[in-house]
Structure 1
């Protein structure tokens, strides 16, 4: 446990990672501020020192993981011309699926205050699915430019279908469904990229 009054480096990430471990190990119902701080090896009240409460904490965790996925998606355009288009897109979609345990995403949807805080964050411009969709569109357009995606393909619609499906899978999936989700997105990519 960290000594009282001593700054903890990367505290937010430490708490977020602890919350994910608690949910993965004990289920969403076990997520309490005390469980998070105990898992993180911090003083009991540290979560409430940095967040207004557990609902704000859950929302900030979700927004943080979506923002991380959006940053990964931004790197997609630089992959134009490398690997296959489907492999590059599958990598980004898998990173998004892995970014947030479905049980945590479910908490953000089922706890009204957490859902409200998450919506407020998204409305105020926190990067999430829309940013990922724009990154996928830009990537597909770059691939069109070099001839690896047919010129007549509607890049924006393909991106919307892919990101929308991923959102659905992430928000409705449960533990252990990663394999099914990967297979679903591979089939979707085959259809979307077939020209």
Structure 2
């Protein structure tokens, strides 16, 4: 346990990682401020000293994880012309599906957290829309290189892929992930073929 008044390096990330472990181990119902700080090895009041409450914490955690995921997807257009198109799309899909569905679901079931996440996304915080935009930009770059047919609707494909990922993330149990990856790979092949 960290002594009171001692600065904790990377506190936000430490609390975020602790919350994810709590949810993964005991489920979303077990996520409390006390459970998070105990898991992180911090004083009980640390979370409330840095966040207005558990709802703000949960919203910030979800936004942070989506920002990391969107940044990874944002690199996708720079890969145009290299490797296999379907492999690049499958990699982005895997990154999205690594988000903890319990944690994302927790934000949805906490109205104040869900409202905060929605407002942040509407204001431009990276989320599903940023991932969708990256996929569309990537497909257009591949079209320009002649690696996918010019007739493909890049925006519709991006929407179909990201919409499917959203559905699988919110409804699929974590233990079904190998089957989920196979479903996504079949979808990608159906949408863009096999290049």
- Asked if Structure 1 and Structure 2 have the same fold, meaning a TM-score greater than 0.5 normalized by the shorter chain, the answer is yes
Provide the residue aligned with 1:136 in structure 2. Answer: 135
Provide the residue aligned with 1:74 in structure 2. Answer: 74
Provide the residue aligned with 2:55 in structure 1. Answer: 55
Q: Give structure 1 stretches of 5+ with no counterpart.
A: none
Provide the residue aligned with 1:10 in structure 2. Answer: 10
CA contact (8 A) 1:137 1:155 kept: yes
Shift of 1:194: 2.5
SS in 2 for 1:83: coil
Shift of 1:96: 1.0
- Alpha-carbon RMSD across the aligned residues, in angstroms, is 1.2
Rounded to whole Å, the distance in 2 between the matches of 1:15 and 1:138 is 34
Rounded to whole Å, the distance in 2 between the matches of 1:148 and 1:110 is 42
Superposed CA deviations along residues 43-99 of structure 1, whole A, max 9, x for unmatched, are 11111111111111111111111111110011111111222101001101101110x
SS in 1 for 2:175: coil
4+ aligned runs moved over 4 Å, structure 1: none
Q: TM-score w.r.t. structure 1 length?
A: 0.95
Provide the residue aligned with 1:102 in structure 2. Answer: 101
Rounded to whole Å, the distance in 2 between the matches of 1:46 and 1:181 is 38
Q: TM-score w.r.t. structure 2 length?
A: 0.95
State the number of aligned residues: 194
Rounded to whole Å, the distance in 2 between the matches of 1:27 and 1:64 is 20
Rounded to whole Å, the distance in 2 between the matches of 1:178 and 1:121 is 28
Shift of 1:179: 1.6
